[in-house]
Structure 1
């Protein structure tokens, strides 16, 4: 019995052509677009919830503006302190490296002395 073209099954699949799911290619853009859509949806829900809570979209927006302003201000403060913090961390790392080197040197000297005794 011959089947029409849409009903015919291929040799490596046991399901009809119309029942097979298409595999997505592993492109990098799909994940980014999904993340962007999710973030925009969350932003929309947050806007709606704050609008209901404050009984005005303008008041809810002003509340979100306050949050954003506080975040930007704290980020600017952290960025201004970054060079000083990096310099302090580098100094501490240098001091730790010196101590480690001294300890290794002392350990090597002790080991050499013990080997000479044997």
Structure 2
């Protein structure tokens, strides 16, 4: 007598029956989740501003103003921050060079003794 697949697997003591098994779904790509979340946040923000301003166009204009001011602030600050980073890197390189020279001098003195 032939038994069906679920019955054969149920008789096996090491495995649980097929109908008792649960399948775990793998999660989606996390990047897709972040993008969908950001789009949802922008959608809700647009809707709220649209209700507040009584026009979706006005709400969108407010959001555009926020975004353009943030971009302008980043563009204005970027050269200043880059200059400060270059100055700090130059100072650190100078200190490292001085330390290397001092270490070399100390090693030379030790070898002479």
Task: Give the TM-score of the pair, scaled to structure 2.
Answer: 0.66
Instruction: Give the Cα–Cα distance (whole angstroms) in 2 for the partners of residues 32 and 94 of structure 1.
Output: 38
Q: CA deviation at 1:49?
A: 1.8
Instruction: Give the Cα–Cα distance (whole angstroms) in 1 for the partners of residues 25 and 64 of structure 2.
Output: 43
Structure 2 unmatched ranges of 5 or more: none
Q: Encode CA deviations 1:27-73: one digit per residue, 9 max, x unaligned.
A: xx722222211111111111112222333222211111111001111
- The two structures, once aligned, show a CA RMSD in angstroms of 3.5
Q: 1:80 to 1:46 in 2, by over 3 A?
A: same
Task: Give the TM-score of the pair, scaled to structure 1.
Answer: 0.64
Q: How many residues align?
A: 110
Could you tell me which residue of structure 1 aligns to residue 46 of structure 2?
Answer: 47
Task: Tell me the SS of whatever aligns to 1:67.
Answer: helix
Instruction: Give the Cα–Cα distance (whole angstroms) in 1 for the partners of residues 48 and 15 of structure 2.
Output: 49
Q: 1:55 to 1:3 in 2, by over 3 A?
A: farther
Could you tell me which residue of structure 2 aligns to residue 13 of structure 1?
Answer: 15
Q: CA deviation at 1:23?
A: 4.6
Q: 1:23 to 1:61 in 2, by over 3 A?
A: closer
Could you tell me which residue of structure 2 aligns to residue 70 of structure 1?
Answer: 69
Structure 1 unmatched ranges of 5 or more: none
Q: CA deviation at 1:100?
A: 3.2
